[in-house]
Structure 1
Amino acid sequence: MLTPGVMASWHAMRVMAPPPADAPSSACRPFSGDRAGFAIGEGAAALVLESEAHAAARGAEAAPFVLAGYATNCDGTHITNPDSAGQVRVMRAALRDAGIEASDVGHINAHGTATSAGDAAEAASIREVFGKGAPVSATKAIHGHVLGGGGAIELIAALRALARETLPPIANLQTPDAAFDLDFVQGEAREAKGIRYALSNSFAFGGTNAVIVAGRASER
């Protein structure tokens, strides 16, 4: 990702944040009133999915977490502008697949690109599905936007939040956009004792949306 051609392409689309001269690490500011775009990153992650029966057959210890539900759709509304209605549909579909209610989700790991249009659409869709009940984090301000690797990396962040019962704050978020009426985790990590489910959003160009719900194995 970090090559001159790729960087120039994203810059031409005006979605890359200009790094502040005095604090370049604060360039990406998800859901902030002064957000200006994302920072490109590089990285990868992998997760192993295994059925309970397969794990038991090989004598493995029971995994603490499960893939509770997932959903994907492609609203096809616009090649670059996100569609809030499509995001609402995919989040609700993931909840249905998990067999849970929106109120059961104790943490949302947002796609959170820090672009003007992207954050506005996602904030509206989260508000529509969850109201102000689920705390929202976003991690791209830390690891950058790694495109195809983002979903896996951010799901791992959501799993760590479940494991530690602690929600990560949104880095560089000082003043949330006044138009976003959500419970953002900001400033410092937040304790979340008894958290049962976490939801992770991944929204891409062309209206391709994917949502995963992770839960504690004890809840299934």
Structure 2
Amino acid sequence: MPQSLQDTITRCAWANGDPLMEAYHDVEWGVPLHDSRTLWEMLVLESFQAGLSWRTILHRRDGFRRAFDGFVPDTIAAYGPDKVEELMQDPGIIRARAKIEATIDNAKAYLRMQAEGRDFGRFVWSFVNGKTVVNDGITVPAQTETSQALSKALKAEGFKFVGPTIVYAFMQAVGMVNDHHPDCARRANGTS
């Protein structure tokens, strides 16, 4: 998007004031995403956000991609204690042992579903019947009954750090729900 357009559009207030957040909002956030591997990456990144801001994660996303070998689930599932210790020393990511270990477990859960012939993208999107839920964009909840149900289902599959608030943020990010403000220029683009 040309810089002049980025400077003149109306966007959701949370994205203003930080060029990286603005670009993320204008290009990615709320755009329906169906690719299973990319959805899994977004779920991992959202799990690292727990207790932090998305801005913190977004500014380290390249560091996460480097440290976690491009988010290739097969590679991450094979990480052992030495790799966990290496990640604990990496200043390019959030160095939280429980979240790092959860990422390894989540890679294993993702691969188990894949081995069973279950597509992760279809699985998560089934909770919104394959279509973006369009909310009013004014009253934005921290979680919903749907995010609670998806959280419970993910936990049953062996995923960790997938509480209903994290899952709702994930749903917003990948376009399962459209919470763009009514005045936001991106609101019309956030539906599947």
TM-score (norm 1): 0.23
TM-score (norm 2): 0.26
Comparing both structures, which one devotes a greater share of its residues to strand? 1
Comparing both structures, which one devotes a greater share of its residues to helix? 2
